[in-house]
């Protein structure tokens, strides 16, 4: 069996000092020949999400904000980490490369769970972000869609003391609320808390589902449109608001 150390070349990851975990599974570009293509499932990567993820982490580090992160470098038509490993749209189940592909898939999820556990051990809570991209089928679609299995992966509520922060009654969802409030300033958003005409397909995949009603964790699938990713001005606004919201999230740790 190939060692997990060797599998690390398929990922970029880092440990953090704050209870925030950032995952980017669909922006990878490596296409190792020995890993056979998926027969079913998506054929294209989420354009630019790998580079955007690196940029966001670099900016956070410059501001001395160290969060946990893991990005896939392997193309999603080889392995899709957001699908169950025993399905045909996660990896090629009939190929000789199946065993190694499953190891790679498992490693990604083990790292996520390790990072989340470390966050909870130190702070008692964790905010998990699974970063994705989508293409609007028509103009009326939101620019950004939050997936949280219709509220079922939001398990940390804090008392609301800021009228400018999106909340529910007298409470807000730590991490999620700050990010939603920031991004709504510039973009049309779908908060994911209830079924709409737009969000059913983006309510949360296999990765987010691991945090269904998970205590001490607020987990989201963050989908940003291709229009944001390919427009420099829009991308700058997104990045600035993302960084600002993470700053606010960390400032509220002791509230």
Q: CATH for 4-251, among 3.90.950.10, 2.170.150.70, 3.40.50.300, 3.40.630.40?
A: 3.40.630.40
Q: What is the pLDDT of residues 59-109, one digit of tens each?
A: 999 999 999 999 999 999 999 999 999 999 999 899 889 999 999 999 999
Q: What is the pTM of this model?
A: 0.95
Q: Please give the order of strands across the beta sheet that includes 126-134.
A: 11-14, 68-72, 20-24, 126-134, 217-225, 144-147, 189-190
The angle at the Cα of 204, spanning 60 to 222, to the nearest 5 degrees, equals 25
The neighbouring-strand residues paired with 219 are 128
What is the per-residue pLDDT for 102?
95
Domain spans of the chain, in order of start: 4-251
Task: Give the separation between CA 83 and CA 171, rounded to whole angstroms.
Answer: 33
The neighbouring-strand residues paired with 46 are none
| Neighbour-count burial for 117-144, b at 16+ CB within 10 Å, e otherwise | ebbbeebebbbbbbbbbbeeeeeebbbb
Residue 4 banded pLDDT, cuts 50, 70, 90: very low
């Amino acid at each position: 069996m190939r060692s997990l150390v060797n599998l690390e070349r398929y990922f970029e990851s880092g440990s953090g000092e704050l209870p925030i975990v950032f995952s980017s599974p669909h922006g990878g570009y490596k296409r190792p020949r020995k890993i056979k293509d998926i027969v079913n499932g998506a054929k294209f990567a989420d354009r630019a999400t790998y580079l955007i993820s690196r940029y966001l982490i670099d900016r956070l580090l410059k501001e001395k904000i160290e969060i946990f992160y893991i990005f896939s470098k392997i193309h999603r038509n080889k392995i899709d980490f957001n699908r169950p490993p025993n399905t045909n749209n996660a990896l090629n189940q009939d190929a000789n490369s199946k065993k190694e592909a499953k190891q790679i898939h498992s490693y990604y999820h083990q790292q996520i769970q390790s990072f989340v556990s470390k966050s909870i051990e130190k702070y008692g809570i964790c905010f998990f972000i699974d970063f994705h991209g989508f293409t609007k089928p028509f103009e009326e679609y939101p620019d950004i869609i939050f997936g949280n299995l219709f509220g079922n992966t939001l398990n940390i509520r804090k008392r609301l003391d800021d009228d400018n922060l999106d909340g529910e009654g007298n409470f807000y969802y730590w991490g999620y609320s700050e990010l939603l409030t920031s991004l709504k300033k510039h973009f049309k958003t779908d908060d994911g808390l209830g079924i709409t005409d737009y969000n059913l397909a983006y309510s949360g995949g296999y990765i987010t589902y691991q945090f269904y009603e998970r205590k001490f964790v607020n987990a989201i699938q963050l989908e940003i449109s291709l229009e944001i990713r390919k427009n420099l001005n829009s991308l700058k606004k997104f990045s600035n608001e993302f960084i600002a919201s993470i700053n606010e999230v960390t400032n509220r740790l002791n509230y």
